[in-house]
Chains A and B, each alone.
Chain A
Amino acid sequence: MKKILCLLVVFTLSLTGCSLLRTSGPIVLVDDFDREISLEEPAQRVISLVPAATEMLFALGAGDRVVGASEYCNYPEAALEIPRVGGFDGPNLEAIVALEPDLVLAASLHKDAVEGLEGLGIPVLALDPMTLEEIYANIELLARAIGEDKAGKDLVADMKGRLEAVGQALGQLQEDERPLVFYESWYPGIWTAGEDTFISEIITLAGGKNIAWGVSRWTEMQEEDVLARNPDVIIHGYLDFSLVEPFDQRTGWDVVTAVKEDRIFFVDPDILNRTGPRVVDAVEEIARLIHPDKFE
């Protein structure tokens, strides 16, 4: 009986606690790892460790609030001017603290840094979007964090509108009108994006079909499966083939339709692989590449 009473007390307390947080001033945000962060007021000095998040902030018109960025934040051009706070070797905590941020944006790979920053009392939002829907949610989350809720909704609406336009240009596609698309993210040891990734979604929205069915997340796929599934189109991110064996020179790839018909396309990996607002650019670009007739 005592136990139940205790539980009841705790329960009511937590309930009132929650409602208090929501009704009074601070902005309460729940990130992709179910961490709850509350900001006293909209963030003015933001550090982004994630290129996609940097792009989101600029797209929300808040580029001037980004006071620190990772080595890889190269878009838009103005992002190159932002002081760097870390690259491949991880975020530099001292550099971050010195910039006095009121919000840091991190990704799943920054686990250590997130813990370090939390210990220092700096609020961190960890983003880990897996689907387009979650990218939209990320954009709206960031918009709320900087107090620009409307800009977030507008940006998402704009993205959805552009995707709809692509869908209209493509029309109703039958299953056999969708070319089989193979996306190669690294070779050798053919790495590709599985059927549950946003890359698969992008390919579907662009009117194709990802051949990596039965493959989950970003992983390695066997060469013989690629050949047997026989893609009509190959998409890759190699600007030049000096580091990678070209497709038409690989053993056995001459049986692949995409190689025979030379339908091998480069798509800027910064656009395709980043879970930011430019995923829509990727859809538009790929749709034009694989269905040129629908965009004349």
Chain B
Amino acid sequence: MQRKVKSRAWAYLGLALLLVLVLFVCVAIGSVRIPLSALVKTVFSPLVNALGELFSLPAWQDFGQDVPDTWRTILLRLRLPRVAVAMLAGVALSLAGATMQGLLKNPLADPYILGVSSGAAVGAAAAMLMGLSWNLLGAFAIPAAAFAGGIGSLVMVYSLSRGGGRSVLNMLLAGVAVSTFLGAVLSLLIFFSGQQLQQVVFWMMGGFSGCNWFHFLSILPFLAGGSLVIFWHSRELDALALGDEQAYYMGVDVERVRHRLLWASALLTASAVSVCGLIGFVGLVVPHAMRLIGGPVHRNLLPAAALAGGIFMAVADLLSRVVLAPTELPVGVITALVGGPFFLYLLKKRRVS
């Protein structure tokens, strides 16, 4: 038992270190070739300059001043926030996917299964059609509309499934119905979008181009809140996996816990979708992969899925930027192309052992 806890701690530490390494690599590599020394100088220059100021060392004060402005801008204002947002979105989708799979006891569940994605898409498309994209609320309009749409669709699903005692099956069915309905609304909006068509379609493909610190900061609170709730209830999630009745006898307030977990994962999904559009596969595959590697106990699965989701998304985004540079590949293509075969490999390996 002691050894198990220890090895688990090492695994988390390893994943966390990998996350930091991936962050560094993803900022270092890009379409524009920037030498590693420039990155190191850019990262450490504020600290070294401050020390130089303190101890009046002229050489230290000049450290990193020779890095061109354009490079500094690309590294700190384009790449770093973009990678950070990709990581947050990966964490959010993967965590939400793991929760949904546990909660609905359905291995095919992903963060979008209850219609959050179609609601968000309708919200974003409506905002674009009304011309809210830039003037009214600045860059905030479309993320806010997508977020509202995503949450709105879950409200619909939730209230529709109330009738039959809000069983898991009822919710899944209501989710399918609402998704289909919103899909039709979206098609209608796209039909009338005319000039905005390109913008709507582009948003639906998903991706992280144009993500900046503003996006990062605006989803961070939702991400922190949602993950805290999910981590807090990870034990109850294990109990729920045994069945509602079983969980009830184990002292779990089934209705309330499910309610909370559902909203927490909807919050995570909606915040991710609002900044990066619809990116499939991450929320389905990463939790499964972690389950295959580390077992189904949510207390272990959730942190692992969160870290791995962040790593996976950042790497997928890196590939999307580099493969066809200076053009960009849609990141959803990468997540499906890399995630699919990897997932099959894991499945096969497990069946053998």
Contacts and interface: CB of A to CB of B under 8 A. Distances in A.
A29 to B, nearest CB: 32
B328 A220 contact: yes
A93 interface: no
Contacts of B77: 251-252
A186 B79 contact: no
A224 interface: yes
Contacts of A190: 209
A247 to B, nearest CB: 12
Interface stretch (A36-44, A136-144, A236-244): A236-244
A88 B31 contact: no
Contact of B70 (A189, A219, A230, A243): A230
B325 interface: yes
A292 interface: no
B340 interface: no
Interface in B189-205: 191, 194, 196-199, 202
A91 to B, nearest CB: 16
A244 to B, nearest CB: 6
B325 A89 contact: no
A252 B209 contact: no
A95 interface: no
B122 to A, nearest CB: 19
Interface string A99-142: 00000000000000000000000000000000000000000000
Interface string A208-239: 00001011100111111101101000000000
A255 interface: yes
Interface stretch (B87-95, B128-136, B240-248, B258-266): B128-136
B288 interface: no
A225 B326 contact: yes
Given A89-B191, A228-B70, A252 B78 contact: yes
B335 interface: no
Contact size range, B: 20 to 34
Interface residues of A, number: 30
Q: Which of the listed residues B73, B131, B199, B321 has the most CB atoms from chain A within 10 Å of its own CB?
A: B73
A224 B74 contact: yes
A241 B133 CA distance: 10
Contact of B74 (A88, A228, A241): A228
Nearest to B133: A243
Contacts of A252: 73-74, 77-78
B128 to A, nearest CB: 8
Nearest to B68: A255
B42 to A, nearest CB: 13
Nearest to A242: B135
Contact of B207 (A189, A243, A254): A189
A88 B326 contact: no
A77 interface: no
Contact of A222 (B73, B209, B212): B209
A215 B326 contact: yes
Interface string B116-139: 000000000000000101110001
Interface in A172-193: 186, 188-191
Contact of B198 (A186, A212, A223, A241): A186
B69 interface: yes
A245 interface: yes
B32 interface: yes
Contacts of A222: 30-32, 209, 321, 325-328
Contact of A186 (B74, B199, B207): B199
B221 interface: no
Q: Which of the listed residues A88, A190, A243, A245 has the most CB atoms from chain B within 10 Å of its own CB?
A: A243
Contacts of A241: 134-135
B191 A224 contact: no
Contacts of A243: 131, 133-135, 196, 199
B295 interface: no
A228 B209 contact: no
B210 interface: yes
Nearest to A254: B73
B79 to A, nearest CB: 7
Contacts of A215: 326-327
Q: Which of the listed residues B70, B191, B212, B213 has the most CB atoms from chain A within 10 Å of its own CB?
A: B70
B103 to A, nearest CB: 34
B4 to A, nearest CB: 45
Contact of A242 (B78, B81, B134, B207): B134
Contacts of B327: 215-216, 219-222
A238 to B, nearest CB: 10
A176 B199 CA distance: 36
Contacts of B213: 251
Interface string B272-292: 000000000000000000000
13 contacts: A186-B199, A186-B202, A216-B327, A220-B327, A222-B326, A222-B328, A224-B32, A224-B74, A225-B31, A251-B77, A251-B212, A255-B70, A255-B73
Given A222-B31, A222-B321, 16 more contacts: A188-B202, A189-B328, A221-B326, A222-B209, A224-B32, A224-B79, A225-B326, A227-B74, A228-B70, A241-B134, A243-B135, A245-B134, A251-B77, A252-B73, A252-B77, A255-B69
Interface of B: 30-32, 69-71, 73-74, 77-79, 81, 131, 133-135, 139, 191, 194, 196-199, 202, 207, 209-210, 212-213, 321, 325-328
Interface of A: 88-89, 186, 188-191, 212, 214-216, 219-225, 227-228, 230, 241-245, 251-252, 254-255
Q: Which 8 A-B pairs have the closest CB atoms?
A: A225-B326, A228-B32, A242-B135, A252-B73, A252-B77, A188-B210, A251-B212, A224-B74
